[in-house]
Structure 1
Amino acid sequence: MRRLLFALPFALLPLAAAHAAHDEHEHHNEHASLAAHEHGAAQLNVALEGQRLELALESPAMNLVGFEHAAVSSSDKAAVARAQQHLQTPLALFGIAAAAGCVITSHELHSPLFEAHAEEHEEHEEHEEHDKEHGAEHSDIDANYVLTCSQPQALSAIDLSELFKRFPATDKIQVQLIGPNGQQGAELSAAQPRLSF
């Protein structure tokens, strides 16, 4: 069984590559990076080694805040602040069992949307039209976490129910997990939000 779980992500690679190549070919002139930037889809990498749990979430900003342009209006700024607040609670977002005794050692959030744009507001408006014409409005949000878990054996699964609830524009998350039982991958959704370690 362990060999099967380890081989699963590699078995899916040719299918994923063929699908990505088809998407890229079909939309090349419109959006060259579409295969890596699909609205509604995100990627989560999880690694558990000893007491150290690492999680890395990569998502188009559209999934988490509802837009990808610089936050100019008060409602846009509120959406960005709300997303940042949610992303600072990985124990809830990823359904980390309380019995595992995990504490956040470090976390980093990266996105052009999180940067201050106050002094660049006028320049942004001038370039916004140009960016739209050339499909340059893709913004991503990356969240990286390191947790230390005093009882890692209590980690039985990642449960993304809360993440799908807080970010309803996220339809699916491709998860790659490395844990005590080897490597495995799955596509999770609100209907099927769990992946066991």
Structure 2
Amino acid sequence: MRRTLLALPLALLPLALAQASSHEHDHDHAHETHGSLGKHEHGVASLNVALDGQTLEIQLESPAMNLVGFEHAANSDADKAKVTAARKQLEQPQALFALPAEAKCSLKETELQSPLFADAKHAEHEHEHEHEHEHDDHGHEDEAAHSDIEASYHFTCAHAEALKTLELGSFFSTFPDTEKLEVQLIGPSGQQGAELTPNHSRLSF
């Protein structure tokens, strides 16, 4: 995924959000030491959005727990089915992120990354070598602990001036274990941070 719009500008976002996050981390440092690390917090995901001209980029980073209900390697058929279902849903961003129809945004590129996707593929194609790769499977399971799922989308919007809002209600209903999205937005009005929840699911540019 090309990250030309998001990589540098998001690093230069106003310090207020970062300072608030740092302050919270100071208080929660002990909990993080024994639980999740850094930004990895169950129920919380991050969403980066950048609009530049007719180009819209959206990047989602979420603990796998929020999207599939677990973070261990997908070894069982039930787990693999959950991973496959989540991946198919993430491959349809128009159903997750409601963009104004009048903006005429078309999806140009999608990239999904997660150790769980690799695990599921590994399990499907290497099942006949299950015993031979037993140690590899354990390695995958260790790597998948506290794993994230990342999704990146690149849209071109013919009428970007009509892109005033981004509605995330469908995302929250599709992945109900996600309780909060921490958003960083770069748009015509500059840079801003926001928090979206199922009861407050609309982002304004």
Q: 1:153 Cα shift? A: 1.1
Change (3 A) 1:156 1:82: same
Instruction: Check the 8 A contact 1:109/1:142 in 2, yes or no.
Output: yes
Deviations 1:59-81 (A, max 9, x none): 00000000001111111111111
Letter paired with 1:14:
Q
Residue 192 (structure 2) pairs with residue 184 (structure 1): yes
Q: 1:15 Cα shift? A: 1.9
User: What aligned pairs does 1:113-152 form with structure 2 within 5 A after superposition?
Assistant: 113-115=116-118, 116-118=121-123, 119=126, 122-123=134-135, 126=138, 131=142, 137-152=145-160
Deviations 1:71-100 (A, max 9, x none): 111111111111111111112211111211
Instruction: Check the 8 A contact 1:24/1:35 in 2, yes or no.
Output: no
Residue 90 of structure 1: aligned partner: 93
| Structure 2 CA distance for aligned equivalents of residues 81 and 26 of structure 1 | 32
Residue 20 (structure 2) pairs with residue 15 (structure 1): yes
Question: Which one of 93, 100, 106 corresponds to residue 103 of structure 1?
Answer: 106
Aligned-partner SS, 1:75: helix
Question: Which one of 167, 170, 180 corresponds to residue 162 of structure 1?
Answer: 170
Instruction: Check the 8 A contact 1:23/1:34 in 2, yes or no.
Output: no
Aligned-partner SS, 1:78: helix
Letter paired with 1:173:
L
Aligned-partner SS, 1:35: coil
Deviations 1:1-52 (A, max 9, x none): xxxxxxx953232221011132223342x24x52320000000000000000
| Structure 1 CA distance for aligned equivalents of residues 175 and 108 of structure 2 | 24
Instruction: Check the 8 A contact 1:55/1:145 in 2, yes or no.
Output: yes
Instruction: Check the 8 A contact 1:71/1:80 in 2, yes or no.
Output: yes
Q: Which runs of 4+ in 1 moved over 3 A?
A: 124-129
Q: 1:58 Cα shift? A: 0.3
Q: 1:164 Cα shift? A: 0.2
Give me the TM-score of the superposition, normalised by structure 2. Answer: 0.82
| Structure 1 CA distance for aligned equivalents of residues 192 and 138 of structure 2 | 46
Identity of aligned residues (%): 54
| Structure 2 CA distance for aligned equivalents of residues 126 and 51 of structure 1 | 45
Q: 1:188 Cα shift? A: 0.3
Aligned-partner SS, 2:38: helix
Structure 1's unaligned 5+ residue stretches are 1-7
Instruction: Check the 8 A contact 2:116/2:144 in 1, yes or no.
Output: no
Considering only aligned residues, what root-mean-square deviation do their CA atoms show, in Å? 2.1
Q: 1:137 Cα shift? A: 1.2
Question: Which one of 30, 51, 55 corresponds to residue 54 of structure 2?
Answer: 51
Question: How many positions carry a matched residue from both structures?
Answer: 184
Aligned-partner SS, 1:183: strand
